[in-house]
Structures are given as structure tokens and as C-alpha cells.
Amino acid sequence: MPQENGNAGARAAKGRPEQATAPSGGSEPHAVGSVGVTSYGASDRPPRGDYSRASADYTCPQNYAGYTPADHDTYRRLYERQAALLPGLACDEFIAALPSLGASDHIPRFEDINKRLYKATGWEIVTVPGLIPEVPFFTLLANRKFPVTDWIRRPEEFDYIVEPDVFHDLFGHVPLLFNPIFADHMQEYGKGGLKAHGLGACEQLSRLYWYTIEFGLIQQKDGLRAYGAGILSSSGELRHSVQSPEPQRLPLDIERVMRTRYKIDSYQQTYFVIQSFQELFDKTAPDFTPIYERLRGLPEIAADAKLAEEEPFSTEIDEEWNTSTASRPS
Ligand code: PHE
Ligand code: CO
């Protein structure tokens, strides 16, 4: 059974290595796989990376020599499958920037991507051994450095991986860092994370990360599209999120999002839709301090809750789904 994760750390709140052995760590790391996400935060499974490689800020060199031919082949196959799914489902900005990752037939060297990325938006990729704690994570983002895990999933994990690997982090997150507005938003999120940490509000902020940066949808001129990395790196959730009549889709409302728990091991049951990255930037620009304050007195909302007064975002979903040919469980 899918679990509900009320104590959502961010991937934002990536996991806290030292908490991985604690049965109920305060920060709930999550990871994103091709079919969804899961977490080790509430389990006793340690994060997978080799943290002895990392320096104090949790970064390390990309272990490029450590990749085997099978690793490169896994990346190639994941990329090929996912790229073929994007038209009509991924947002235009993502599709336009994807080639900036470079060759798709092997795992790229991050330094090569950085030459293009830095020129485009002043962002850089840095290597990390895996999930990292909140404060170092927020600090990197605030300095326009995006942490990317260097290892890749094993072949038997092709469809599902319980922690973010290089495919999720690169393919899912990095293309939109080429977009100036989204790039600025990510930096503001990092700064906001450090602030939320001081205010004891990381859980609320991590839900925002979850429902936007990982699982956000955007209405574009040709229809609904995905911009969240957890969706874009998932072969199954991409179509589910954009076209299935099953999930609820709501316009982005910061306080609603911050109150909404999320499922970490199934497709999302609620998605939040923006009309533009500028809307995301503008809605997250106000000081969240009074919002965090107000939310302390309000109950959480379940991941699948449908509130009586809420209007769904879109109505064209059913038709698109029914006219498509792919099979799905009825
Ligand atoms: N405006 C938020 C605050 O004052 C910071 C933030 C910006 C959070 C962008 C998320 C995204 O705390
Ligand atoms: Co992610």
C-alpha cells in the first residue's frame, strides 16, 4: 500500500545521511524513480552513495572512470525511452533545453554541461554522492549550484529506483536550469529553504518543492504539460500526470500546497498547475513567514483529498485520455 508521507522532507530535503539509520528521521528524504518516488527516511535503509568521497559541503568529483559500459548503456536506454515520450507531455522549455545535456548515448561529463549551463544562466552542476541534508542542499541552491548524484541505477532498477540517480537528477532537473526564470526560482527556493530551516518550516516548504519542482504541471498554449523533474524522468507518471482522468488537478495555491501531504511510492493523486514560470516565481516571492505562522493552526490535507469548494484546473483531460490508444487499467 502506498504510504502517506506527512513529514515530507524536501528533496529539497534530500535525505540526511546521518538520519538514514534513524527509524523516524525528522526530515523525510525522498527519491524519484521512473515510476514514482519513495523514501528511505522512515526506514532503516542507509543512503546508497559513498559519502567518504564528499567534502564538507557534500560535493565530490564526478567519478567518471567508475562508470562501466553497462552504466553508460543504462543511461542511453533510459534517455532514449524518455525522450520519445516527451512530445505533447513535457513543457516546451524542457524539450527545447534537453539537447543542452549533450550526447545521449553515454553519461555526460558534468563539466561539459557546465560550460553551456553557466553561460546560459550562471548555474552549475556539482556532484554529490547521493541524498544530502537540508542545509547543505539549500546552501548549494542559494549559490546557483545544483547537486547531481553521479551513480546510475542497476539494470534491474530500470523502471524504478528508490533514490535519485544521475538519470533523474540530470534528465529531470537540469534542462529547466537553462531557463532564466526557472533558474532564478531555484535559487530563491534555496534561500527560502535556509530561512524555512530557521523557522522550523522545512516540512511545509518541502511540500512546495514536491508539488512544483518535482511534480508540477503547466498549462501551455497547446495544452497541459509537465515541468516537474519527478514526472519528466518517469516513464509511467508522465502520461498519468498529464492525461489520466484519475488525479485531481488544481491551480497552484501556496498555502493549499503547503498543507498537502504527499505519497512517496505511488503516482501523485493531486497535481498543481501553473500558467507560466513567472507565475511560480511571483507566487513564491512574498515573505513566507506569516504563512508558516498561519499554517501552524491549520490541519493537513490528505494527498487525495477533494475539498468541496475547490474547482479543478482543467476539463479537457478525459477526452484526451479516452481518444488515446494506450492501455490502462480500467
Ligand atoms: N519567498 C519565500 C520566503 O520568504 C522564499 C521562497 C522563494 C521559497 C521561492 C520558495 C521559492 O520564505
Ligand atoms: Co528530484
pTM above 0.95, yes or no: no
| pLDDT greater than 80 at residue 183 | yes
- Any residues with CB less than 8 A from the CB of 64 and at least 6 apart, and which? 107, 109
What pLDDT sits at residue 161? 87
Q: Report whether 7 contacts 30 (CB < 8 A).
A: no
The dihedral through the CA atoms of 292, 38, 145, 91 has a sign that is negative
Active site residue 185: no
Partners of 260 in the β-ladder? 301
Partners of 4 in the β-ladder? 263
Q: Which residues line ligand 1 (CB under 6 A)?
A: 188-189, 192, 195, 208, 284-288
Q: Is 124 helix (H, G, I), strand (E, B) or coil?
A: strand
Query: In a mutational test of the pocket of ligand 1, which residue from 288, 291, 292 has the highest number of ligand atoms less than 8 Å from its CB?
Result: 288
Please give the mean pLDDT across all residues of the chain: 86
Percent over 70 (pLDDT), the chain: 81
Nearest to 320 by CA among 217, 241, 232: 241
What pLDDT sits at residue 264? 87
What pLDDT sits at residue 319? 56
Selecting among 30, 173, 185, 240, the annotated active-site residue is 173
Query: Cell triple for residue 324?
Result: 488515446
Q: Which of 41-50, 88-97, 98-107, 314-323 has the least mean pLDDT?
A: 314-323
Active site residue 168: yes
> Rounded to whole angstroms, how far apart are CA atoms 105 and 74?
9
The dihedral through the CA atoms of 8, 296, 281, 146 has a sign that is negative
What pLDDT sits at residue 225? 98
pLDDT tier at 279 (50, 70, 90 boundaries)? very high
**What are the φ and ψ backbone dihedral angles of 45, each rounded to 5 degrees?**
-85, 125
Q: What is the 3-state secondary structure (H, E, C) of 73-116?
A: HHHHHHHHHHHHHCCCCECHHHHHHHHHHCCCCCCCCHHHHHHH
Torsion-angle region of 212 (φ positive above 0: left; ψ -120 to 50: alpha; else: beta): alpha
The dihedral through the CA atoms of 168, 322, 223, 253 has a sign that is negative
What pLDDT sits at residue 21? 25
CA of 210 to the centre of ligand 2 (A): 9
Q: Which ligand is nearest to the CA of 205?
A: 1
CA of 146 to the centre of ligand 2 (A): 11
The predicted model gives 192-211 an average pLDDT of 98
pLDDT tier at 258 (50, 70, 90 boundaries)? very high
Query: How does pLDDT run across 167-182, given as a tens digit for each residue?
Result: 999 999 999 999 999 9
Query: How does pLDDT run across 112-123, given as a tens digit for each residue?
Result: 999 999 999 999
CA of 138 to the centre of ligand 2 (A): 13
pLDDT tier at 30 (50, 70, 90 boundaries)? very low
Q: Report whether 272 contacts 253 (CB < 8 A).
A: yes
Element (H, E) at 204: helix 202-209
Q: Is 250 helix (H, G, I), strand (E, B) or coil?
A: strand
Q: Report whether 213 contacts 12 (CB < 8 A).
A: yes
> Rounded to whole angstroms, how far apart are CA atoms 225 and 180?
19
DSSP 3-state helix, strand, coil percentages of the chain (rounded to 5)?
Answer: 45, 10, 45
Q: Is 127 helix (H, G, I), strand (E, B) or coil?
A: strand
Looking at this protein, which amino acid is placed at residue 209?
A: Y
Q: Report whether 137 contacts 147 (CB < 8 A).
A: yes
Active site residue 173: yes
